[in-house]
Amino acid sequence: MDRERLRAEFASIGEKPFRADQIMQWIYRRGVDDFGGMTNISKDLRARLESSFVVRPPELLTEQKSIDGTRKWVLKVGGGQAIETVFIPEKDRGTLCISSQVGCAMDCAFCSTAQQGLNRNLDTAEIVAQVWFAAKALGGDFQNERVISNVVFMGMGEPLANYNAVLPAVKILQDDFGFGLSKRRVTVSTSGLVPFIDRLREDVDTALAVSLHAPNDDLRNVLVPINKKYPVAELMDACRRYTAQRDHKMHIVYEYVMLDGVNDSPALARDLAKLLNGMPAKVNLIPFNPFPETRFKRSRPEAIEAFANILRAKNIIATTRKTRGDDIDAACGQLVGKVLNKQKRRLGDIPVRAG
């Protein structure tokens, strides 16, 4: 529960709402999982909490460490299924990449999670628990020396297809009584679910990344099939609405996977520059990360550099994402977890409104 709901919950059992703030601090700021140790709470309330609730991290299935320091945890989520959480250390920050669903239904052509299909949504606890688990595993102090400085919803799943669980999770990550991350340090990444980009804009102030991958409908329909439902022009309109309501420094990051001979030509770079012209945009080029049985290949480094330079010549900030953790299959698009009994979902079944 986010703080607002937890406060209401405490009020409904006849407790003061500020108890919610205290409990959240114990759990998220101090990493305490034992109600007995929450010493500013009365013995009586501690006992009531102990009898009705648990603070429990997910169980670890496997753990791997890349030669570049990237860490990957495969966490059990019941029924033999598992999700993946990845920590990417850098000089000036530490980014945790979390999952929002067991699998994914978006079916993007170049993503290995897509091959898994979707089993189910994670709930808010399972989403937030990944951060709690990683913070503990990394051995950092929850309050002072922050090992995790940024959280990105770029693991398994489409976060905006699980909006009702993701929204409270974003709030808990940003809450001063929760993980206390600033709005710029929590990024929701989406393949382009337009109605939910609008909902997100209204409900919370957070950084947004959009997986664009192509500047026109013909190509994007093939690479990111949700485009058939929400075409590029509609997506860009939603992005304009999103940034218009934010402070002027808030860019949207457009992710663009670089696929050799598919979407990496200079002509497409020029089209992309035209599409983003005048928008608060940064482009993040992601060299394609291969996985078994994919028909795609990574663009040549010169092609990526040329593509970036065309964007830069049009005054668009373009960066190339450094490939991290690919030796342990922890790089973008390589997360598969363990997805069983996937639902046969077609794009038509994706809900247009959150419940």
Cβ neighbours for 150, distance < 8 A, ≥ 6 positions apart = 93, 94, 95, 96, 181, 185, 186, 187
Q: Determine the residue with CB nearest ligand SAH.
A: 333
DSSP-derived letter for residue 351 is -
Residue 206 lies near ligand SAH (rule: CB under 6 A): no
Restricted to residues 30-49, the positions that interact with ligand SAH (CB under 6 A) are: none
Q: Which stretch binds ligand SAH (CB under 6 A): 107-115, 131-139, 169-177, 179-187?
A: 107-115
Residue 238 lies near ligand SAH (rule: CB under 6 A): no
Q: Smaller CB distance to ligand SAH: residue 100 or 174?
A: 100
Q: Is 152 helix (H, G, I), strand (E, B) or coil?
A: strand
Among 200, 207, 257, 318, binds ligand SAH (CB under 6 A): 257
Q: Which two tokens stand for residue 201?
A: 């804009």
Q: Which two tokens stand for residue 277?
A: 């012209």
Q: Which stretch binds ligand SAH (CB under 6 A): 39-47, 104-112, 140-148, 339-347?
A: 104-112
332 a catalytic residue: yes
Angstrom distances, CA of residue 174 to CA of 240, 287, 333: 24, 30, 26
Q: How far is the CB of 148 from ligand SAH (least distance, A)?
A: 18
**What is the full DSSP assignment across 253-272?**
EEEEEEBTTTT--HHHHHHH
202 a catalytic residue: no
Residue 333 lies near ligand SAH (rule: CB under 6 A): yes
Q: Smaller CB distance to ligand SAH: residue 49 or 74?
A: 74
Residue 108 lies near ligand SAH (rule: CB under 6 A): yes
Among 66, 206, 211, 263, binds ligand SAH (CB under 6 A): 211
Among 111, 148, 165, 273, binds ligand SAH (CB under 6 A): 111
Q: Smaller CB distance to ligand SAH: residue 152 or 269?
A: 152
Residue 189 lies near ligand SAH (rule: CB under 6 A): yes
Cβ neighbours for 82, distance < 8 A, ≥ 6 positions apart = 61, 74, 75, 76, 337, 338
Closest C-alpha among 324, 318, 265, 257 to residue 288: 257
Among 232, 332, 336, 339, binds ligand SAH (CB under 6 A): 332
Q: Smaller CB distance to ligand SAH: residue 25 or 66?
A: 66
Among 21, 158, 175, 264, binds ligand SAH (CB under 6 A): 158
Angstrom distances, CA of residue 97 to CA of 85, 94, 200, 290: 6, 10, 19, 19
Per DSSP, what are the bridge partners of residue 84? 74
Among 122, 154, 238, 276, binds ligand SAH (CB under 6 A): 154
Crossing angle, helix 3-12 and helix 163-174, to 10 degrees?
A: 90
- The distance in angstroms from the start CA to the end CA of the chain is 17
Q: How far is the CB of 28 from ligand SAH (least distance, A)?
A: 24
Q: Which residue has the tokens 């419940």?
A: 355
Q: Smaller CB distance to ligand SAH: residue 85 or 211?
A: 211
**What is the full DSSP assignment across 70-119?**
-EEEEEE-STT-EEEEEEEE-SS-EEEE---EEE-SS--TT-HHHHH-EE
Residue 191 lies near ligand SAH (rule: CB under 6 A): yes
Task: Determine the Cα–Cα distance for residues 20 and 241; give it in Å rounded to an integer.
Answer: 34
Residue 299 lies near ligand SAH (rule: CB under 6 A): no
Crossing angle, helix 266-276 and helix 301-313, to 10 degrees?
A: 30
Which one of 9, 84, 145, 302 is the catalytic residue?
84
Q: Which residue has the tokens 């994914």?
A: 104
Among 255, 272, 283, 329, binds ligand SAH (CB under 6 A): 255
Residues that bind ligand SAH (CB under 6 A): 106, 108, 110-111, 154, 158, 189-191, 211, 255, 257, 286, 288-289, 332-333
Q: Which residues are identified as catalytic?
A: 84, 332
